Amino acid sequence: MNAGPGETLNIRVYTEPGCEDIPLPSYESLHAAGMDVRAAVPEPVTIPPGGRAVIPTGLHIELPPGTEAQIRPRSGLAARNGITMLNSPGTVDADYRGEVRVVVINHGQEPFTIRRGDRIAQMVVAPVLRVQWEPATSLDDTSRGHGGFGHTGNQ
């Protein structure tokens, strides 16, 4: 990975045959963290309330080692329609070369239809740290200590 904060990272992308009409992920504002990802469904897909569907994007990406692509819900779809993702954020690993697909669920009260080219998710490419566990017999103390869920008062 050769790009630092605020710099551009070139990532190779392959588009499924027949998906040339689907725009590549793109930033919709100057300082957006996520790029909008579009549906590459051949026909409209209607998801009933409580239903879910795996939506293709037509994209295969070649991430550099030390990065991941996080596939996240779009806030507008969540707020207006109750549309989100079951595995949020979804992770695309640097060694994955299959098609990027989005697991969409309808938490809304009305059926929701996804059409070809609809913006269905956002993608954030981020660095990943590799961890090597170091066994220990104790850990440093903190002011929180062993306090669990709701311990900080921010439930």
What is the model's pLDDT at position 4?
A: 59
What is the model's pLDDT at position 6?
A: 66
Burial of residue 35 (CB within 10 Å: 0-12, 13-18, 19+) is middle
Q: How would you classify the pairing of strands 112-114 and 45-47?
A: antiparallel
53: Cβ contacts below 8 Å, ≥ 6 apart: 45, 47, 103, 104, 114
Distances (CA, A) of 16 to 39, 90, 100: 12, 20, 11
Residue in 125, 50, 38 with CA at minimum distance from that of residue 84: 50
What is the model's pLDDT at position 3?
A: 62
Burial of residue 116 (CB within 10 Å: 0-12, 13-18, 19+) is middle
Question: Which pTM value belongs to this model?
Answer: 0.85
User: Within 13 Å and on the Cβ side, how many CA atoms surround 63?
Assistant: 23
Domains observed in the chain: 12-127 (2.70.40.10)
What is the model's pLDDT at position 1?
A: 55
Residue type, 31: H
What is the model's pLDDT at position 149?
A: 72
pLDDT tens per residue, the chain (155 residues)? 556 566 789 999 999 999 999 999 999 999 999 999 999 999 999 999 999 999 999 999 999 999 999 999 999 999 999 999 998 899 999 999 999 999 999 999 999 999 999 999 999 999 999 999 999 999 999 888 877 776 666 55
